[in-house]
Chain A
Amino acid sequence: DVKVTQSSRYLVKRTGEKVFLECVQDMDHENMFWYRQDPGLGLRLIYFSYDVKMKEKGDIPEGYSVSREKKERFSLILESASTNQTSMYLCASSLRGGGNTEAFFGQGTRLTVV
């Protein structure tokens, strides 16, 4: 059974803290993605990575960075958390290329910044 695992389901952090959201996949996928999900806005792409140490900005990268040191792990970093980053964060992975390849998602992390 394929799996994408996010390290936390719920997280509460203070404004200004550095926050790490971790995602691990066990499918040997080349691609990994971080999306942000907000009511009425759907899923918006923050960053994606197509290989170790490779990354590309998505639609809303401001205030975020990412790290991919190993193929199976993709981390989202909030350098200085702000209240407007309170949201649901979804990690996903897929094989490289082939437009019909399925993306597999983690269970999501609900982040609250206070």
Chain B
Amino acid sequence: AQTVTQSQPEMSVQEAETVTLSCTYDTSESDYYLFWYKQPPSRQMILVIRQEAYKQQNATENRFSVNFQKAAKSFSLKISDSQLGDAAMYFCAYRRFSGNTPLVFGKGTRLSVIA
């Protein structure tokens, strides 16, 4: 079974600074998808960014980018120019490439942004 590990229960960052959230996963499959979801204090979870494992290029969405290291099974999220609105729980998630399967989530990292 696939597992996702987020080793940092809590992180903090100064406004305008850069922060990196860590995620590792375990799978025996060669093709899969990885996601970062954000859950603000209002609780509605939203997708931040996704990465296809067969693509070597790291995904980027505005201030959010990932560092995908397939051999190391690592998928970290970098937030640049942090803003107060970035404060949230961040969840890393995995899904198999094929088949109709649900997301597998990590335990989450709570990010605080300090003004």
Contacts and interface: CB of A to CB of B under 8 A. Distances in A.
Contacts, number: 56
Interface in B30-76: 32-33, 37, 42-47, 50, 52
Interface of A: 30-31, 33, 35, 40-45, 48, 50, 58, 88, 90, 92, 96-97, 99-100, 102-103, 105-108
B42 A99 contact: no
A99 B96 contact: yes
Contacts of A92: 45
Interface stretch (B13-21, B78-86, B101-109): B101-109
A50 B99 CA distance: 11
B98 interface: yes
Given A42-B106, A45-B102, A100 B52 contact: yes
A100 B105 contact: no
B73 to A, nearest CB: 17
A76 to B, nearest CB: 15
25 contacts: A31-B102, A40-B107, A42-B107, A43-B105, A44-B105, A45-B102, A48-B102, A88-B43, A90-B45, A92-B45, A96-B100, A99-B32, A99-B98, A99-B99, A99-B101, A100-B33, A103-B47, A105-B37, A105-B44, A105-B45, A105-B46, A107-B42, A107-B43, A107-B44, A108-B44
A99 B95 contact: yes
Contact of A100 (B9, B42, B50, B108): B50
Nearest to A88: B43
B10 to A, nearest CB: 11
Given A44-B105, A100-B33, A102-B47, 14 more contacts: A33-B102, A33-B103, A35-B105, A40-B107, A45-B102, A58-B102, A99-B95, A99-B97, A99-B99, A99-B101, A102-B50, A105-B44, A105-B45, A107-B43
